[in-house]
Amino acid sequence: MRNIITILIGLFFSFCLKSQEVDLSKNWTNEVISTSGFSEFDKSRIDKLDLSSILSNQLRFEKDPISTYIGIFGPNYRRIDFHLKAEKKVNEYVIVGKSKLGENVRELNGVMKLEKVLLRKQNYITDSLYIGLFNCVLNEPGDKNGDGVFSGVFAVVFYMNNGKVQLFKTSSGDEPNFTNTFVGKWKRYNSEVERKVIFSFRPAGLYESLPFCDELYSIKDGNDDYLVIKDKFVQFGWENFDYKGRKTDWWQ
């Protein structure tokens, strides 16, 4: 009996530690690498390309759904928004932009560096589909108490069309059904305070969700493919979330 109790206590603490894990970037890397049909590709061949157009995001037209990023911050899945612009500098991408957590809007400066490329050859949509995995660091200015740094892994799915890089975004749930997805953490400067951060183009809706955030969602009208924010989390910035994907230019 004593041994059984010891095992149960161990399992309980193991579950608690896992549920409290902040930085899931390694888990995200492993999940992306295991995407069906993809294998590692010579990264040096992609280093020659300029991927800044698919790393940057801005409104191409009014309420463009593929612009700005929306995600979660911390254990209560608070909504956080990002607007980023990338510029290639030698072997890395210099990032400038802003983040918005509640009413707190902060300037960001950082870098993305391509670490790994995966390839899947196919006979539909496009002949070859690529996944790029970037190490990503985004710094807040540090002139305000509570500023910090975002760090993690950013994944983007793309293909080539007439020699130009094009963003791949499925609207039917086909694999890979993620792109431009960041998984990592925020750490306050000069502190041990850390928060989980995960974001993408659309964090909820039809065929849309964030990785490692199962607790955030409930199913809409019995449709397993349509995920909505649970009522208990709506109060944390999700009151006006648009499930049709329409965005605003809040960074202006």
126-139 and 148-161 strand pairing: antiparallel
Task: Single out the residue of 200, 203, 206 nearest to residue 220, CA to CA.
Answer: 206
Neighbour order of strands in the sheet with 208-209: 208-209, 204-206, 223-229, 217-220
122-131 exposure pattern, b = at least 16 Cβ within 10 A, e = fewer:
eeeebeebbb
Per-block average pLDDT, block size 10, for the chain (252 residues)? 43 44 96 95 95 88 87 98 95 96 96 97 78 98 94 96 86 84 97 96 94 96 93 97 91 89
d(CA 169, CA 199): 15
Centre a 10 Å sphere on the Cβ of residue 83 and count the other Cβ atoms it contains. Answer: 23
The pTM of the full predicted model, rounded to 2 decimals, is 0.90
Question: pLDDT value at position 162?
Answer: 83
Kindly list the distances between the CA atom of residue 48 and the CA atoms of 40, 90, 114, in Å, as whole numbers in the listed order.
17, 9, 11
Question: pLDDT value at position 125?
Answer: 61
d(CA 137, CA 114): 12
Task: Single out the residue of 207, 211, 202, 214 nearest to residue 238, CA to CA.
Answer: 202
Question: pLDDT value at position 197?
Answer: 98
